[in-house]
Every structure is written in structure tokens, then in C-alpha cells.
Structure 1
Amino acid sequence: MKSYEVNFDGLVGPTHNYGGLSYGNVASQSNSQQSSNPKEAALQGLAKMKALMEMGFQQGVLAPQERPDVAALRRLGFSGSDAQVIERAAKDAMPLLVASCSASSMWVANAATVSPSADTADGRVHFTAANLNCKYHRSIEHPTTSGVLGAMFADPQHFAHHAALPAVAQFGDEGAANHTRFCRDYGQAGVEFFVFGRSAFDTRYPAPQKYPARQTLEASQAVARLHGLSDDGVVYAQQNPSVIDQGVFHNDVIAVGNGEVLFYHEDAFLETDKMLAELDAKLGKRGGNFQSICVPRSQVTVEDAVRSYLFNSQLLSRADGSMLLIVPEECRGNERVWQYLQGLTSSGGLIREVKVFDLKQSMQNGGGPACLRLRVALNQTELAAVNPGVIMTAPLYGTLTQWVDKHYRDRLSENDLADPQLLLECRTALDELTQILKLGAVYPFQIN
């Protein structure tokens, strides 16, 4: 039975703004307080989805969250009508309002960790929503994330959904941004690769000194248990604390993997040789031929990688067996990175082509091509069981671009977040979107 890696890209929400909320994310902090363009952001993301669909890749879309999150503000003591809650938060605690308006759910690489049926004990595709408890504005996402994923992957015969891990620092979980999977074929048993920044309980593991390590070893181990993964199909690796302190807040900022290939920076991990040997041995036992591409620091520095988001790219397997790398425009703008990529693709190696996309609105807030997609490996039967409304087609692309043009603003500043009309605009847009995507009632305002 044929299997596919389906990329479900996050649809950028109507409140996309540059709040500078993510300490440790250099781009997010450096562009704080600038005016954003939600309409352009959404259209840029949709253009990438359409392009990949037209290249023959399976492509889906994942809906954004309701923002501002009035319910979250109520839990923090603001009362009255929805409009009064927003007005009072703007007056008394503007940073909380900004956090409650964040459109960060667009980066669905953090939505969940996904294990395909070939790896799990019960032969179902497993989803665990990420708690994202390191940052308040993201920690409020997982209830709606779980609801949306449940509406997309609804058939319990094929799909299993787990609640987010306990929302405490010891189980900090950032989802697929710190997880990848290696396999000979998407439908065959593979090796799941969990990368952590620190251990909550074992002091033998060093921790970064400047920026927080968001993923714990204990969270990764818990997800592996929930998904019913076997020990011979899992590898854990620690991210290099020094690169976290240079702005590598997730592993997908310094490494990307797909199929049998890991593309990574020389400074990405601790005990790299040991990790590579374990991946090679475990994938070999499952019929795979593990291969790695190391980018030396002498050619691309960690700073270059962070500024260009070279590794926050999509590594895609094409029908002829070659690989395609999807990178942001910022890679072409960095001389050293672009020179490296030109040499990489001309060498006749594993990665044969690089395609560049303009994702400036997302990039300025700290998320590139890889941040914008959640990868789900599905066989034909499972793909047929996915809610068809979320699978990208040419007609759906046309409908969604019209929807964005109708509902989104082309400029948004911090002061605009205090406008109660923005909440009404967002709810009107999302109510229509759930009908377009055939999701049913997944948002609090539709349920309560």
C-alpha cells in the first residue's frame, strides 16, 4: 500500500502581529512592535501550499486559533462583556492583551508530535498536542489545537489523540519542532528522533545559560510512551546548549531530516558521533540506509543559520528519489549560505534542488518554511479517512485566498489589538472558515 508524507501547513490568523513575545527567538525579538500585514502573511503561506501541491506533494491546511483569546483574559481576572474585557486589558495590562492576540499557532510544527501507524503498538497514527508551556502566549493553544486535529483526523479506527502533557517546566513539550522521523519508506517502520534541550531531573545533562531550553528529555520520553513506540525505534539526542544560547530555540532551526537523510549543522548536537551511530544502527535494522549531511561551521556559522533559517527548511523526497530543499528568501540574501547551497546542489549529492519562497511576514516573527508545517505520514487508507475539507486542491486554494481578501487587514499595530472590532472580525472569519474546511464547531465562541 502506498504511503505519503502529508504536509499540513498552518493558515496564518487574522491577528498576525509582531509582539516580540518569544524570548530566545532572535527574529521575534528584533522585529518587536513593528506593524504587520496579516493579509500578506496568509497569502504568502497559501502560495507555498499551492506550489507544493502543484509539484505533486500531498498538502493540507491547519486552521488558526481564535484571537484575541478572551477566555484566557477572563481567567486572568478581566470581566464584563467581550469588548470590556479587551478594553480593560488594553488599559491595565497591554502585554497580556498582546499575548492573547498572538497568531503563533500558524507555526504548526509546534502543534503536536505525530507518530505514524507503522511505528506504533496499536497500528494507529498517534497525535499528542504540545503543551508549549515555556511561553504563555503559546501555552493557551493546545485545547483548540486538540479540537482542530480531532476534527481533521476523526476516525478512531485510524487515529489516536492524546491530551497535552502536564503544563509544568519538567514536561516542556514543543511538538514536532524537536522531532523527526527516519525511514526507508513512509509506510514502513522507522526510527523516531527526539531532540531535547535539557533534562528536568538528571543533572548530568548540561543546560544553556542565556536562553531557555524549551524541550525536556522527560517530555520526549513521555510522548514516546503514549504513542507506543518501541525502544529499538527511538533515538534521543541533546541539542547543543551553546547554540540554544545563540538563538536556536528549536532543533528545526539547526537541523532537518526526512526519509533516510539528516541535514544538520556541525554544532547542532552534543555527542554527535554517538547519535549518528545509533541512528545508523537502528535504521539499518529496519531496512534503511541512514545518511547525513553535515554543514561545517567554517562555511556557515550558527549566526548565519539563525539569520537565514537555512535549516528551518523543508526537505522533501521526490518521486525520482532525489531531494528538494524548500528555503526562505533570506537564504538567498545571505552570501555564505547561498554559496553553500549552490555548491550542495551542484555536487550531485542527495539534495539536488533548492526552491526559494518569500515568507517575510512569518520570518520576521521567527518562523520559516519548516515552522509552518506539521508532517503526518499516512497510508492510502488513512489518507482517505482524513477530513477531505482540509486537503489542499486548486478550488480550495482559490476559496481560501478569497476568504483572506475578504476578512484580513493589511496592516496591524499594537494599538489595533485594543479594538474590540478585531475580535468580531476574527470570529466572523473563523466561523466561515470552519464551513469551508468542514471542521464543525471547534472554536470556543462556536461551542459556548
Structure 2
Amino acid sequence: MFAQEANFDGLIGPTHNYGGLSDGNLASARNGGLVSSPRQGVLEGLTKMKRLADAGLVQGLLPPHERPFLPLLRRAGFSGSDAQVVEAAWKQAPGLVRKASSASPMWAANAATVSPSADTADGRVHFTPANLLTTLHRSIEGRQTQRSLSWAFADTSRFSVHDPLPMQADFADEGAANHVRLCAEQGGEGVEIFVYGRSAGESWAGAFPARQTLEACQAVARSHGLDPKRCVFLRQSQAAIDAGAFHNDVVCVGTRTTLFFHELAFEDRHGALEAIRRAANGLFEPVFVEVPEAEVPIGDAITSYLFNSQLLEWPGEDRLALIAPKETEETETTRGYCAAMVAGNGPIGRVEFVDVRQSMRNGGGPACLRLRVVLTPEERAAVTPAALMTDALHDQLTVWASKHYRDRLSPDELGDPALMVESRAALDALTQILGLGPDFYPFQRV
């Protein structure tokens, strides 16, 4: 059956800032405290979305979350009016306000793990929103993400949106950033690769957290009704995590039959590749594009985000296209590797560099900003129309963002109740544009 991979990008929120909140994310730590531009960030994201839509790819979006997230501050003991809660929290616990104000839902690769209908027992597309429990600022996302996915994929005869996994360390789940699907054709049966950093209860001695557990991966595979013989569970290497690869998509990306990865991506590289070959037996022959440490040191791979790129089937082209951040072009080793790669006869025939610097400074490249969803024509027709990018929607969102988003935002301004008022006005307006309903956001339900 014919199917096409769609990309649903997270729309960058009005409180986009550099709070330096994410342990193990080197870019986030390095740029913590800098002044951000929420307006520039959302416009960069919209430009990338329009580029793919104009090329004929299916491009969708997921709305930003309400920030600051007042329920977190109230649960922490702050009371009064919303403005009083923000002011009191900023005086007594400014770090908590920074976490409640993070625009991290923009990184839709962490929104959920997705299995297409060709792989699932009931023939529906399955979504499991990530619980993201390793970091406080992301652990507040799961339920609103579930609401967003249920808005975009509302037809329960074709889509199944699950609850997030239990909020317990055994089931630590970071979503599609640790998941790759390979296949001969998008509409045919595929191999789903789940990558984890640790097992439940394991003593972890790494420099940075191992955010995904094996048990979370297994639970998602079971709930999606996947064929066990077509599932592969691979351990991410501690060397990669310690170098700053906080998710597998910082060192690995794949589509169709091609897996593009760094030599140090997996703990047991040879065993990983053999496991993928076994799972693909009878379906397709995997194509492995391995980038040697000697040619691209893992430090360069991580700072340039070579692998946190979108690997796409580009309309009218017979080889894959890699949509990489400008930082990949500006890093000598990765620029040289890309030039040599496309000059050869391998599966990746072109690299296109895009500007997503506002996201990159917080540790999110082009691949972080998107959630991949394989859809048949019937499934695509069942997607909520307002969730799909069009020229008209792009223009409308550009005007909306230019009106409602600040050009500059310092982390020290997050305690200003005026920012909350501005953000809510932006989300109220977005609710009308996208038809989200009168109670989509928590502040609208009070």
C-alpha cells in the first residue's frame, strides 16, 4: 500500500528562551543565559516547514504549550491570582519559574513514539506521548502533547493516541528521538528500532543521564501491537551519552532502508547491525552509512548536529536528501564529510543546510523540531486539516507570530507577569487560527 512520511513540526512558543535547563545537552548548557529571539525562532521554524511543503512533502504542525505553566507553580505551593503566583515564585524560586516557562515542546521529536498502520496489529497509526520524566521542565509536557495529538489525529478509527507511560524512572521515555523505522516502502511492513540508554534499576555511572530505558521501549512496542520479530532494541553507547548525545537522534538518523549513524552511536555496533539485518530478513536489505570517528570526531558530530538532520525522500530525486543545520556546513569535518558523501554513489545524494539557530542554541536541530508520521492517503485525509501546512496557513502564522512574539527575551524576564499575559494572548489567537476549541489550554479551562 502506498504511504508517505509526513513531518509534524512543533511550533515554537512565545517564551522561547535560553535557560540552560537540560543536563547532558551541551548546547543548552553553553548558551544558558543568552538573550533569545522568540520571534526569529518561530519564523525560522515556519520557513523550514514551508520549504518542505513547497517541495511536495506532507508537512504538519503541533501547537505550542501554555507557558509559564501555572499548574506546576501552584502545585509547588504558590497561590493567589496568576500574576501573584508568577511574581511570588520568581522572588522565592526563580529556577522553578524558568522550568515552568521552557518552550521545549517545540522539539516534537520528543512528543511521542509513532508506529504506522503497516506495522500495528489493529491497522491503526499508534502514538505514545513521551513522559520525559528525566527533566522537570519537560515532564510537564505529556498530557498536553496527548491533547495536541488527539486534536491533529482525531479519527479514532484510524489513529490511536495512548496515555504516556507511568511517571516512574523504570519507564523513562523520550519519544521518537530514540526511535528509527526502516522499510522497503513506507506503506509496507518495516523494522522499528528502539534505542535505550539503561535498563530499569541499573546503576548508572555516566557523566550525563541515560534518559531512555529498555523497559519503556518494550512497553511502547507492546502497546502499539508490533510484531516482536520486526522490533530491535539497541543500547546507545555510554561514550555517545557522555559526549553529549542525550538522545540517539544526535548520532543517528534513518529512513527507508538507510541508517546513517556515527561509529560510536551504539554500545555493540556489530551486534546492532546484525540485529537489524535479522529483523529485516525477508523485507529488505538494510543500507548502513557509518561515519567513522577518525573522519568526524563525535564532538564535532554533536556540536554540528550532523545526524540531527532530516533524512528525506525528496520528490523528483532518486537519492535521499539530508536537511542539516547551518552549523554542519560551518564545521570543517562535517562539511568535508558531506561533500565527499554526496559525491559518491551512496543513498544520500544531497545535503541542504537550513538556518534554525534559535533552536540549535538550545540543542535542537532540524530533526528535533519534527515528529515523523507515516500516512496512507486515507489517513492523511483524516488528519485535522488545520494541522497541515498550506501557503495560507503559513502566511497567517507569520503575521500572528510577528504580532505576538517578542523580538528579544532574556531568561531574567521570565518572572514578568506581562510575559504571561502576552503569551496567553498569542495562544488565544492561535486557538482561533487552528480551531483548537475554547478549552485547549489550561488557562482557558479555568
Q: What is the TM-score of this pair, normalised by structure 1? A: 0.97
Residue 277 of structure 1: how far off its partner (Å): 1.5
Q: Given the alignment of the two structures, is residue 404 of structure 1 paired with residue 404 of structure 2, yes or no?
A: no
| Partner of residue 378, structure 1 | 375
Sequence identity percentage: 52
| Partner of residue 433, structure 1 | 430
C-alpha contact (below 8 Å) 1:208/1:241 kept by paired residues: no
The 3 A distance-change label for structure 1 pair 408 and 277 is same
The 3 A distance-change label for structure 1 pair 89 and 198 is same
Counting matched residue pairs gives 444
1:335-354 residue pairs with structure 2 within 5 A? 335-354=332-351
Residue 241 of structure 1: how far off its partner (Å): 0.7
| Partner of residue 256, structure 1 | 253
1:13-32 residue pairs with structure 2 within 5 A? 13-32=13-32
User: 2:324 is paired with a residue of what secondary structure?
Assistant: strand
Alignment counterpart, residue 286 of structure 2, candidates 287, 290, 294: 290
Residue 27 of structure 1: how far off its partner (Å): 0.1
User: 1:249 is paired with a residue of what secondary structure?
Assistant: coil
| Partner of residue 222, structure 1 | 219
- Equivalents in 2 of 1:415, 1:408: separation in Å? 17
- Equivalents in 1 of 2:280, 2:146: separation in Å? 31
| Partner of residue 420, structure 1 | 417
- Equivalents in 2 of 1:423, 1:163: separation in Å? 28
1:34-433 residue pairs with structure 2 within 5 A? 34-201=34-201, 207-285=204-282, 287-319=283-315, 320-433=317-430
Per-residue CA shift, 1:186-221, capped at 9, x if unaligned?
A: 1111110000000114x5xx8452100000000000
- Equivalents in 1 of 2:238, 2:215: separation in Å? 17
- Equivalents in 2 of 1:267, 1:429: separation in Å? 43
User: 1:245 is paired with a residue of what secondary structure?
Assistant: helix
Residue 427 of structure 1: how far off its partner (Å): 1.1
CA RMSD of aligned residues (A): 1.1
User: 2:36 is paired with a residue of what secondary structure?
Assistant: coil
Residue 348 of structure 1: how far off its partner (Å): 2.1
- Equivalents in 2 of 1:207, 1:136: separation in Å? 19
- Equivalents in 1 of 2:445, 2:91: separation in Å? 29
C-alpha contact (below 8 Å) 1:152/1:439 kept by paired residues: no
Residue 439 of structure 1: how far off its partner (Å): 2.2
Runs (4+) off by over 4 Å: none
- Equivalents in 1 of 2:204, 2:277: separation in Å? 27
Structure 2 residue runs of 5 or longer lacking an equivalent are none
Q: Which residue identity is paired with 1:446?
A: Q
Q: Which residue identity is paired with 2:78?
A: F
Per-residue CA shift, 1:139-177, capped at 9, x if unaligned?
A: 001111111110110011001111111111111000000
- Equivalents in 2 of 1:436, 1:233: separation in Å? 41
- Equivalents in 2 of 1:191, 1:208: separation in Å? 31
Residue 438 of structure 1: how far off its partner (Å): 2.2
- Equivalents in 2 of 1:415, 1:240: separation in Å? 37
Q: What is the TM-score of this pair, normalised by structure 2? A: 0.98
User: 2:211 is paired with a residue of what secondary structure?
Assistant: coil
- Equivalents in 2 of 1:212, 1:240: separation in Å? 12
- Equivalents in 1 of 2:290, 2:95: separation in Å? 41
